[in-house]
Amino acid sequence: MSAKNKSKDDIEVLQEKLQSIKGREEIIGYILRGPNSASIDLKDPTRIVDYAILSATAFEEGQNISAMFEIGEVDSIITEGEDTKIMSMVVNDHCLSIFMEKNVDHDKLCKNLNLT
């Protein structure tokens, strides 16, 4: 199997895992953005643009801070608000942002999704 096909299979498996967690009450949704497409699943579809902007900004600023402080490549970014948080990371050249209630254990969520 070529590396490209393996990467595609890995992303399909990840999408299945994301589908399995999206029903949890404390998960608001996710955005999985690749070079040619994106999968978006949010409980409030009227806010897709807001969440997409938040996701893109988190990635961009994470890269800027990493470069500014020369800390190397960023594995993940956790942004917390008063009630919610976003976990952003790169998985097989895809940008993944998962939006959740603040009390969710994002480390445990990563382990459940096999992202660590």
Residue in 13, 22, 27 with CA at minimum distance from that of residue 91: 13
Domain holding 105, by residue range, is 3-112
The CATH number for 48's domain is 3.30.450.30
Cα–Cα dist 51/31, whole Å: 8
16-71 pLDDT tens trace: 999 999 889 999 999 999 988 899 999 999 999 999 999 999 999 998 999 999 99
Q: How many domains does the chain have?
A: 1
Distances (CA, A) of 37 to 31, 81, 104: 11, 28, 28
Task: Please report the pLDDT score of residue 109 as a whole number.
Answer: 93
Against a cut of 0.85, is the pTM above it?
yes
